[in-house]
Amino acid sequence: MRRSVREFSGEPMSLAELSHLLRFSAGITEERRGLRAAPSAGAAYPIELYPAVSSVESLTQGIYHYQVRSHELRRVREGDFGHEMSRAALGEKMLARANAVLVLSAVLRRTEKLYKDRAHRYVLFEAGHIAQNTYLVATSMGLGACAIGAFRDRDLSRVIGVDGREENVLYLVAVGKVSPEHMPS
């Protein structure tokens, strides 16, 4: 069951937990044919995933880019960006307390080549599928998740290091360890 959780315990998330979350939210789940956890119109895969890591064991704080094909993280920027993300998201404090914030961005032209005027809606569908997967996987692991769509585009693009023209931030999903009293029932 999907429920938004906005209170995180502060306990570090394991690297294995983050790995599982990424694979089953947006990664390749069927190796032979390269099928991913979320559907993509025309297999264009316009969504890019940037985990902003604050408290994950064995990972330096920073912004990472999820390399789907190799199931690896490539660090884009080092540092704690929770407070910057919070400011960009209109003061949403949970972003500074989450173990990781999955930032979903889109390279629209990947889908436009195939679907022209309908591309925009297909890209948004895909972002929604990935966000819903994140909720469901997080919940199954005893983690909390909360999606956020309210933010200043330019500020958030600057934080994660995308240009805001060819690649645009669409959605955020904060994920973290949850105290038992804050787990959804």
Convert the pLDDT of each residue in 90-147 to its tens digit.
999 999 999 999 999 999 999 999 999 999 999 999 999 999 999 999 999 999 999 9
CA angle 163/62/170 to nearest 5° reads: 40
In a domain, 146, yes or no: yes
| pLDDT of amino acid 179 | 75
Tell me if 173 sits within 8 A of 180, measured CB to CB: no
| pLDDT of amino acid 107 | 97
In a domain, 52, yes or no: yes
In a domain, 47, yes or no: yes
When mean pLDDT is compared across 28-42, 101-115, 143-157, 170-184, the lowest value belongs to 170-184
Q: Which two tokens stand for residue 62?
A: 């920073």
**Cross-strand pairs, 143:** 177
| Counted domains in the chain | 1
In a domain, 2, yes or no: no
CA-based radius of gyration for the chain: 15
Which CATH number does the domain housing residue 167 bear?
3.40.109.10
pLDDT at 181 over 80: no
What does the pLDDT average to over 6-26? 96
Instruction: Report pTM.
Output: 0.95
| pLDDT of amino acid 185 | 56
Task: Taking each helix axis as running N to C, give the angle between helix 119-140 and helix 15-26, from 0 to 180 degrees, rounded to the nearest 10.
Answer: 140
In a domain, 145, yes or no: yes
In a domain, 58, yes or no: yes
Q: Which two tokens stand for residue 156?
A: 């958030």
Mean of the per-residue pLDDT values of the chain:
94
**Cross-strand pairs, 53:** 62, 100
| pLDDT of amino acid 3 | 81
In a domain, 7, yes or no: no
CA atoms within 13 A of residue 53's CA, in its CB half-sphere: 27
In a domain, 68, yes or no: yes
Q: Which two tokens stand for residue 127?
A: 């972002």
